[in-house]
Structures are given as structure tokens and as C-alpha cells.
Structure 1
């Protein structure tokens, strides 16, 4: 098997950056919820049970700043705002599935 060169510092920085976004409570659930297609704020609040409006708003802004979620305003009337995954956000869906499968098989809750 050919040995793959591994840049430990670059990998660590990338993983640290990824978990700084995805490691925040609710962000994985928001991304997963948007995996079904664009959604309004109210629909997301219903899909992510237990999240407050303020936290949902903050998390959506963070995910948008990270380039994972796009916010679209329809002038209406009435004015509506929808959220959808960007291509980068869509690319996360299989990774989140794999991570969930791995966690279920390998991490022990105490």
C-alpha cells in the first residue's frame, strides 16, 4: 500500500475549524434539517425541538458566515425568509451520517 503524506498541522487546523462550527450545539441538527430542502425559520424551529428563537437566529447566521447555509429573502407580500444548504453544506450531509454511525458504534455514553 502506498504511503499517503499527511500534513498533521494542516489537518489539525482544518479539523479544529470544522468542529468550531459543527461542534456547537444545534448546528448539526440545523444542517441535517436543511438536508430535506429549503426551510423557513418557523419550520426550522419546529424541526429542531428545544431551540430558542435567539439561538436559532445566531446559529443560522454562523452557518451562513461559514458558507454552509444561504439565506434568501422573498419580498412578497408577505416578506418571507428561507434558508437552504449551499453546496458546501450539502457536502456535509454524508459526513454527518458517517460520523453519527461511527459515534453510535464507537463512543460509550457514561
Structure 2
């Protein structure tokens, strides 16, 4: 029987369902990075979108923004404790994708879900 997802599940996918958000979190899993490093680590993201997502993640308390005095003035980003706490879930999602999603083909539908 199909049921409505729990509110926690809804909140998770409202966040991770936004394009680039999961990849930005994953890029920061191994330590802090500067804006330009993050831009290179997430191919295809625009500067504006990266800035917007980082601002959103900082507002949610998942990313910490630190201004490094210059010259040149540099800004670094790192995961907070709350941001690092999502690592096990992202690792599990990665493992699931390696097992169930073919590269370049999208999701395979398991036998038990086919008509």
C-alpha cells in the first residue's frame, strides 16, 4: 500500500532534491575548500548557483563560511558537525547507486517493481 512519506523524508528530499546540493556536500566531505576549488569540484555548476547553494547550506547550519583576510581576500567553506553527520547517508546512497544504477542509463527498475 502506498503511503505518504514521513516529514523527515520530505525535508531531506526538499534539500537534496535541489540540483547540485548533494554534490556540494560531497565535495566538502574531505575537508574545507575555497569557492574556486568547489566550482572545479562540481563540473557544470555556475558561479551564481554555487553561491546560492552555499548561502542556503550555511543558513541551514550545514556549511560554515570563513573569510580569510587578504590580500587577496579569500572565502573558504567547510561542513559543520551537522553537515558532516550526513556523510554515512551519502556513502550508503553512493553504494546503492553503484549496485543499482547503470552509468549513463539512469535507474534500472528492479524486477519486483515492474508491471
Q: Which structure shows the higher helix fraction?
A: 1
Structure 2 equivalent of residue 47 of structure 1:
41
1:18-68 deviation digits (Å, cap 9, x = unpaired): 111111111111111111211000000011011000110011111111111
The size of the alignment, in residue pairs, is: 102
SS at match of 1:83: strand
Structure 1 equivalent of residue 13 of structure 2:
19
In structure 2, what is the Cα distance between the partners aligned to 1:19 and 1:81? 28
> Per chain length, whose mean CA-contact separation is higher, i.e. which structure has more relative contact order (CA < 8 Å, sep 6+)?
1
Map 1:1-110 to 2 at 5 A.
12-106=6-100, 108-109=107-108
Contact 2:63–2:83, Cα closer than 8 Å, also in 1: yes
**What RMSD over aligned residues (CA atoms) do the two structures have, in Å?**
2.0
- Runs of 4 or more off by more than 6 Å in structure 1? none
In structure 1, what is the Cα distance between the partners aligned to 2:34 and 2:17? 23
